[in-house]
Amino acid sequence: MREVMHRFFRAARGAGVRISPAESIDAMRAAAEVGPGDRTILRDALLLTMAKSGEEKAALAACFDAFFTYPDLEQPQAANDDREDAGEEANEGGPDVAEGTASGQASAELGSLAQMLLAQDRAAIAAALSNAANAAGLTDIRVFTQRGLFASRVLEQLGIAQLRNDIDALNASNPADAERLTSALGSLRETVSEMVSQALLLYGREETEALRNEILRNAPMARLERRQIAQMRVLIRQIARRLRERFSKPRKRQRRGHLDVRRTIRRNAAWGGVPFLTAWKRRHRDKPKIVAICDVSGSVAQVSDFFLLLIHSLHEVVSDVRSFAFSGNLIEVSAMLENNKPEEAMKQIMSAVGFGSSDYGRSFVDFEKDFMSAVTPQTTVIVLGDARSNNLDPRADILKRIGERSKRLVWLNPEGRVSWGFGDSEMPRYATFCNVVRQCATAQQLERAVADIVATYQ
């Protein structure tokens, strides 16, 4: 049971359920208490001890059902009929009793797999399949191209070579049993194939997910297909969670400060130097602020969607975040993103200012007129856009004043650097007043850019 549970934990992690060692121990204890007799009770016990959200509960339930569903070996109907006919003939006391006895002696000389198949002992066959799968290392399967390899390994562990020899031997002495074994071998191959496919679904999901995410991380976000957009949203949420886990702990340590050894020793002199009272070195840090200004015109709307989703997923790291969106004019969208689900928020933003022709000059005028007070010496201003102003006045002077008021001005451009400055691109002019200018066309580049920005506050 312990080995089975370890394999189940591995499959659950591949399904996206995060399981800590403590949760694994709790699940093992719960499984030991309820036992494997009632599968429904065991399923509920594992869901209670391991799932931490509705999504994890659904994923874990599906994983449990797939893990504890075993492929069944179907016996050919012809073989069943032959067996029934043979039994009736034996009961009637037919003239071939001596021949049947000889056939029984020949069956006793067959290999164990052939005997199980002829006897149609389902319990023994299921046990043999489980042992063969463990011996073949079926839990190590990762990609679909390995299905044939692992199916061959499982069949070898079952003893298929001996089974072929038994079939050849029976072809000469007992063609009926040879035909039954040949038909049973076909069913056995199908069962092993189903078992390997099930193992790939359970244990190869993590590798497949990692490969798909790696491809998505390096794919241009502006060129994603419709079916990839939902996958990219999931990837962006994973990136946000990873950044939160990376930067939250250092912030907690820095709020507490570092141990001041000298002051601690002096303070505890009355107790012989035993540090009952500790003293900490604390360094004042300005409260971090981020102002994100995003172009949501038709050319970069999809990239802005992912960028805003990532920024507003980092509130645990940077508590003060204000977001603005523009195409022809600029509005604040912080409340929309904070009070609605991301999909609903983006619909509201796009219906308000999205998919228009970008006018950077007018948008910067709107920002300076209504929201310039949001920029302080503690603020990092992030502008996401392709800097294409449609040959209108770019108002680079306003961007210069924003840069002078802020701690740092960062421009993230989803276009390749070779396109900057060509056509109606004002990127070279804007770059003059920015502290950081980076290409940001893929999820990987976006993660690195945001990680570098957040790291300045640690």
* Pair of tokens at residue 219: 């794919």
Give the C-alpha separation, 181 to 392, whole Å.
Answer: 82
Which pLDDT does position 275 carry in this prediction? Answer: 78
pLDDT tens profile 10-31:
788 777 788 888 888 888 888 8
Q: Which of 174, 168, 80 is nearest to 119 (CA)?
A: 80
CA separation (Å) from 263 to 254, 276, 285? 18, 12, 22
User: Exposed, middle or buried: residue 369 (CB in 10 Å: 0-12, 13-18, 19+)?
Assistant: exposed
Give the C-alpha separation, 260 to 274, whole Å.
Answer: 14
Average pLDDT of the chain to the nearest whole number: 80
Which pLDDT does position 269 carry in this prediction? Answer: 82
Contact assessment for residue 441 and residue 220, using Cβ atoms and an 8 Å cutoff: yes
DSSP SS3 for 331:
strand
CATH superfamily for 238-455 is: von Willebrand factor, type A domain (3.40.50.410)
Which pLDDT does position 457 carry in this prediction? Answer: 58
Sequence-distant (6+) residues with CB within 8 A of 315 are 321
Query: What pTM was estimated for this model as a whole?
Result: 0.61
pLDDT tens profile 210-233:
777 888 888 888 778 777 887 888
Which pLDDT does position 373 carry in this prediction? Answer: 92
pLDDT tens profile 63-94:
888 787 766 555 544 444 444 444 444 444 44
Bridge partners of 388, per DSSP, are 425
Instruction: Please report, for the chain, the start and end positions of each structural domain, with discontinuous segments joined by +.
Output: 2-67, 77-81+102-206, 238-455
First to last CA, the chain: 46
